Structure 1
Amino acid sequence: MSVLAIDAGTTGVTAVVVTEDGAIAAKGYEEFGQHFPRPGWVEHAPEEIWQATLAAARAALAQVDTADLRAVGITNQRETILLWDRETLGSPRRAIVWQDRRTAEICARLKEAGHEARVTELTGLRLDPYFSGTKLMWLAEEEPNTWALVESGRYAVGTVDSYLIARMTRGTYHVTDVSNACRTLLFDLGAGDWSDELCALFDVPRDALPELVPNWGEVATTDPASFLDLSLPIAGVAGDQQSALFGQTCFEPGDAKCTYGTGSFILTNTGTSLERSDAGLLSTAAWRSPAGELTYALEGAIFVTGAAVQWLRDGLQIVGSADETAAIAGTVDSSEGVVFVPALTGLGAPHWDPHARGMIIGITRGTTRAHIVRATLEAIAFEVRDVLETMPNQGAPLRVDGGASANDLLCQLQADQVGLEVQRPRLVETTALGAAFLAGLGTGVWSSTDDLRETWQLDRAFSPAADRSAADAAHARWIDAVERSKGWA
């Protein structure tokens, strides 16, 4: 038995086939275009996402016997918002991506009107362009003709998961799960449902929103004419970071994972308790069982980590590839006092300063590219430490995944900074793995989370240095640099 998992990310779609022993039997990947119509605006063409999904799935399925497939799982970039025609499934405009900053003025207006405290109380989020609600408010204000068709019921509104499910089922289903819904600013975390109060505040008709379904269990069925001749239950759905938490088998309160991607996302499972943070963390829904039990998490969203390495490669051109960074940084024992604050798009958790800007400080005549590369890896470890120090981690190991987790030097720096064992699994495709686990749990490929735990295999554990004085001194210097970077723009 096997499961097809689709991971619809920000720059491309990955499809994997996962067997019942938790192994990846096949993989396909297809990129899609990024559109930047104005500075700070980021858009995707929905049709390009759909075609990339078909291409990636087709490539993975060509490597296996499709007769063994039992279900489809979907995971996705979360706060990106799409519109589509309920009849034709065509989209009247491009999707507005989570990275898009066009709604900064709307956020400021809502804050000035005194709405942020109530929004945070209900949603666990902040008024920031990152989240979906203000994107919809912008559409209503700036594109009234399009929005009129949302209000009339002609156009559906949803996140990438709900759009893909609509396409895979020929428009039969309009659904999403709590992990995506809770990132829209329209979801009441405590009640576990869409909020009429929030829909009124953001002027979004509730009827345009998807029906909420459990994260696992058979929630829809693919239409063969629409989706590669397959009639399979769609039995697992989750936003990418919650999916990675599930894929890392972080099922107990206090379990934590860090995904190193373009940015980095640290999630700690808080169980059935909705925990609030005064330190800039987001309260979020992790998943909901078919029985209706809601599991929560605290999340720290760091905007720039892997993107800083990309900047070294493409902007400064001092490394040829991300893979080189460990070797280059390893040629020096320290950064010699050089600190890089990668606030290239402002600072996320726990600082939340959209006006902060990137800074490299401590440069001398003796500074080399190796010092700057090492300072970049150290910055990633510092950023993760800043978030973890505000979380109820209870000393549990930190499980890491994502592209940069393959960097042994980064993993060791991370262990030294957080003072915890850092565990890297053999399979670092944990986002797609989480979607597969959810779908398999929903269709009997795995009978319980205990079965899923048995599939998790350690690649390497990194233990922190016994003496943390050097790590603490470096971190104190980092905090000083962060303060200097704030408010620059």
Structure 2
Amino acid sequence: MSTLPQPNLTREQGSDDSVPRQDEAQLKSWFIGSIDQGTTSTRFLIFDGTGNPVASHQIEFKQIWMEHDPIEIYDSVVKCIEEATKAFTGLGHSVSDIRAIGISTQRETTVLWDSVTGEILHNAIAWPDTRTQALVRELKKQPDADKLQDICGLPLSTYPSALKLTWMFKNLDKVQKTYEEGRLVFGTIDSWLLFNLNGKHNNVHVTDVTNASRTMFVNLHALDYDQTVLKFFNIDTKRMKLPKIVPSSDPHAFGQLDSGPLKGIRITGCLGDQSAALVGQLGFAPGQAKNTYGTGCFLLYNVGEKPVISQHGLLGTVAYHFGGSRKPVYALEGSIAVAGSAVKFLQHNFGFIEASHHISDLAATVEDNGGCVFVTAFSGLFAPYWIDDAKGTIFGITQHTEKGHVARATMEATCFQTKAILDAMEKDSGRKLTQLAVDGGMSNSDLCMQTQADITGIPVDRPIMRETTSLGAAIAAGFAVDAWKEFEELKEINRKDRTFFRPQISAEDRTKMYRRWERAVEMSKGWLREEDHA
């Protein structure tokens, strides 16, 4: 048991006075809208040219046990646009000052609909869903299964869209029938929303490269659907329509809003949410990384213009592609299935806290974790472990264990998994990260971010404006309409008054804590046996 010290905060100015500043008044005279469709809620924000949000609206939508109602998601987007626009015009601004709209979405979540009737064939199956565990084990036995990751960057796991689609083929008669009749349409949340926002009659069916790279159908090197992978999953593209793959920033490919207060405004940027956060953190140079603490936790590390296929349990993915003469940029990713959702678990299932932001206050009631280690494997363990038979397990409980100890152990679980991912990234890239940019709900906790710095031994850099996912989508949209033309022009955005958390514990204590975590991970394995699936 080690005691973590209290947060050591410093605030630093991020601007460089040697870089010529743009006319701030002019930057504040035009705007870009940003749809941010996440796992538990939808937001619409309107940013000015300096990257500051001037209006927003957020709606939480119903969780249906690892499924979402696609119509409810679309309706939440429409409502958010209406309410944020009302707030925007209420400030005296004009809709005509909004130059474009960007969109970021949860990624692997899978939607199927009928190309003729437009009927949704099943609820969207969300990215953390694990009902495909038995299917994954079955597919891993097929010839050439071990070669798939070299093609698409993703391992066979419950995570990618391909497994969710295959499960629906095998288990839903309506899906199978629609496929046999050649009327099945596949999409992730971005393509579903774009299809509806453009008006179904316009039949816009596209996805950007970042979302496409999460399906497992795409060759990471060619950035197009791969016939070897499609054949592996027994997919006939004559019977099922896949969305057209386009760059993340494009003046025309994503269409325009067909209705509502912003009717006619073009959608010119589209990114998967984690790529959007990397863009929003201005992670444009190889070696830069960000960690987003949302429902899950996702660490993206920019590796430059050539994909890297991980040898240490990470994912190869597309970071972003801003089109034109620019080349696509790739990333290594570490995905943690459970982060903020573990805090929600303590709130809703155990009643430890009334609201998720109270987790820090509860954790601060004790000096340390009291010997507790919580492996939050509610959906198995993702990167870099890929253990699908692990289950959530708390070790070290005694008669002296208090709620505060469990709260600390819950936050530490995400921090330990982030350390495991950073270690894997160092092995894959040959480069040690010197600083970690953070955002997302759990990053609001000073205690959690200090714990992260202590456990990794790396300074943590937190912006004052943490809507980086929405900002990234707005930046992608802005590049397509020449709001910005070079990354250099973004240097000032969200750089001021960032908070830095610096490591405070010894390397010996850090190592001791991490070894205990590794033991706990080993002991959490094997809860699901073959006979449990019979």
TM-score exceeds 0.5: yes
- Residue 268 of structure 1 aligns to which amino acid in structure 2? Y
Q: Give the superposition deviation at 1:333.
A: 2.3
The residue aligned with 2:366 is: 332
Structure 1 residue aligned with 2:7: none
Shift of 1:152: 4.9
* TM-score w.r.t. length of structure 1: 0.94
Provide Cα deviations, 1:324-368, integer angstroms capped at 9, x if missing partner: 222222233222322222122211111111111222222233322
1:53 aligns with 2:77: yes
Alpha-carbon distance in structure 1 between the residues aligned to 2:116 and 2:482? 33
The answer to whether structure 1 residue 285 and structure 2 residue 285 are counterparts is no
Matched, 1:420 2:449: no
Query: Following TM superposition, by how much is the alpha carbon of 1:87 offset from its aligned partner in structure 2, in angstroms?
Result: 5.2
Match of 2:194 in 1: 165
Higher relative contact order (CA 8 A, sep 6+): 2
Question: Counterpart of 1:311?
Answer: 345
* Correspondence for 2:471: 433
Counterpart contact for 2:219–2:225, Cα < 8 Å: yes
Tell me the residue number matched to 2:228.
197
Report Cα offsets for 1:387-446 as digits up to 9, x if no partner: 111113533310010011010011111111111110000111111111011101111222
Aligned to 2:25: none
Indicate if the aligned counterparts of 2:256 and 2:267 stay in contact, CA closer than 8 A: no
The answer to whether residue 519 in structure 2 is matched with residue 480 in structure 1 is yes
What is the TM-score normalised by the length of structure 2? 0.86
Q: Deviations over 1:130-172 (max 9, x none)?
A: 2111222233333455344346553421111111111111243
Aligned residues: 484
Please tell me the residue identity of whatever aligns with 1:402.
G
Q: Secondary structure at the match of 1:469?
A: helix
User: Structure 1 residue 154 and structure 2 residue 187: aligned?
Assistant: no
Task: Specify which of 28, 38, 51 is matched with residue 9 of structure 1.
Answer: 38
- Name the residue aligned to 2:205: 174
- Kindly indicate whether the alpha-carbon contact (under 8 Å) linking 1:116 and 1:126 is maintained by their aligned counterparts in 2: no
Contact persistence 1:283–1:298 (CA under 8 A):
yes
CA contact (8 A) 2:128 2:337 kept: no
Look up the match of 1:43: 67
Aligned partner of 2:216 in structure 1 is 185
Equivalent residue of 2:87, what SS? Answer: coil
Pick one of 119, 133, 150 that aligns with 1:104: 133
In structure 1, the residue matched to 2:108 is 79
Give the Å deviation of 1:231. 0.7
Amino acid at match of 1:359: T
1:262 aligns with 295
Q: Is the 8 A contact 1:331 1:370 kept in 2?
A: yes
Paired amino acid for 1:387: I
From 402, 426, 433, the counterpart of 1:395 = 433
Alignment deviations for residues 99-119 of structure 1 (CA, whole Å, 9 cap, x no partner):
222322222221112342121
Contact 1:254 1:270 in 2 (8 A): yes
Q: Distance in 1 between matches of 2:172 and 2:411?
A: 43
> Is the contact between residue 293 and residue 339 of structure 2 (CA under 8 Å) also seen in structure 1?
yes
Change (3 A) 1:115 1:228: farther
Match of 1:467 among 472, 492, 506: 506
In the alignment, which residue of structure 1 is the partner of 2:148? 119
Is the 2:336–2:414 contact (alpha carbons within 8 Å) kept by the matching residues of 1? no
Task: Indicate whether 1:275 and 2:308 are aligned.
Answer: yes
CA–CA distance in structure 1, aligned partners of residues 113 and 252 of structure 2: 20
Is the 8 Å Cα contact of residues 107 and 127 (structure 1) preserved in structure 2?
yes
Q: Secondary structure at the match of 1:381?
A: helix
CA distance in 2 between counterparts of 1:416 and 1:295 reads 31
Report the secondary structure of 2:303's partner residue.
strand
Alpha-carbon spacing, 1:384–1:228, altered in 2? closer, same or farther (3 Å):
same
Could you list the per-position Cα deviations for residues 23-79 of structure 1 after superposition, in whole angstroms to 9, with x for gaps in the alignment?
A: 00111112222223xxxxx32222111111100111111112311111111111111
2:181 is equivalent to residue 142 of structure 1: no
- The CA RMSD over aligned residues, in Å, is 1.9
- C-alpha deviations, 1:292-312, integer Å up to 9, x for none? 612111111111121221222
Q: Which residue of 2 aligns with 1:39?
A: none
User: Structure 1 27/114 Cα, relative in aligned 2: closer, same or farther at 3 Å?
Assistant: same
Offset at 1:227?
4.4
Contact 2:373–2:395 (Cα < 8 Å) also in 1: yes
Cα shift readout 1:175-207 (whole Å, capped 9, x = no counterpart): 111111111111010122111121222122336
Partner of 2:405: 371
**Contact 1:281 1:299 (8 Å CA) reproduced:** yes
Which consecutive residues of structure 2, in runs of 5 or more, have no partner in the other structure?
1-29, 89-93, 529-534
1:248 shift after superposition: 0.7
Runs of at least 5 residues in structure 1 that lack an aligned partner in the other structure: 37-41
Confirm whether residue 219 of structure 1 aligns to residue 247 of structure 2: no
Please say which of residues 325-334 and 295-304 is displaced more in the overlay: 325-334
